[in-house]
Copies of this chain bind each other. A is one copy, B any other.
């Protein structure tokens, strides 16, 4: 677990407990649905402490969301290891990205919820990150563009392609309750299902991009 611009590193134990509890509760109940009392209970502290460390509910949410967002952005870069061929790069990225989401489903829920709400908080962070140069999917787009130019894959719109990869890696976590009911094995063995899915996704997308 790295810690660049990581709020959790310089915080006290209590602050950390609040932060983690808030992430879980906000992710489960939503920005508005989350109750300060629930967060306090989850952090096993008095409700007043929330206001002592974080001014109010809005501040706490923005802090938690901003931190989550930064990790989510960084995950693109971390999942995209250099590899000799595009084929290998794709495999490693799918594996890395799925693992990232699996390791912190609460963070994923926060991101998706903010998207659903269409709040300006998300837009602000995104535009700031984009202006700052390191737009998250930029590296992925470039990778696909390069592979396309080198005839490793057929000509495709790299932006659309990145979106497709991310969609397939992410959505089954979003719809996990539905998948667990619908899929024959996912309900009994989610971990195994995720492994199968990584393989399926790699094959589907790699074949879908291969030169004809």
A residues in contact (CB < 8 Å) with B: 27-33, 109, 112-119, 122-123, 126-127, 130, 135-137, 154, 156-157, 159-161, 163-164, 166-168, 170-172, 174-179, 181-184, 196-197, 200-201, 203-210, 212
Least CB distance, A54 to chain B, in whole angstroms: 20
Q: Which of A28, A163, A201 has the most CB of B within 10 A?
A: A163
Considering only CB atoms, which chain B residue lies closest to A30 in the complex? B30
The binding surface of chain A is classed by DSSP as: helix
Picked from B29, B112, B184, the residue with its CB within 8 Å of the CB of A174 is B112
Chain multiplicity (copies): 2
Are B181 and A126 within 8 A (Cβ)? Answer: yes
Task: Apart from A115-B174, A164-B200, list 16 A-B contacts with CB within 8 A.
Answer: A28-B117, A29-B32, A29-B117, A30-B117, A32-B33, A112-B174, A115-B178, A118-B177, A126-B182, A159-B184, A160-B196, A163-B197, A170-B171, A174-B174, A204-B205, A208-B208
Residues of B within 8 A of A168 (CB): 164, 167-168
Least CB distance, A24 to chain B, in whole angstroms: 12
Least CB distance, A28 to chain B, in whole angstroms: 7
Considering only CB atoms, which chain B residue lies closest to A114 in the complex? B177
Residues of B within 8 A of A123 (CB): 177, 181
Are A201 and B159 within 8 A (Cβ)? Answer: no
Residues of B within 8 A of A166 (CB): 171
Picked from B116, B178, B179, B206, the residue with its CB within 8 Å of the CB of A109 is B116
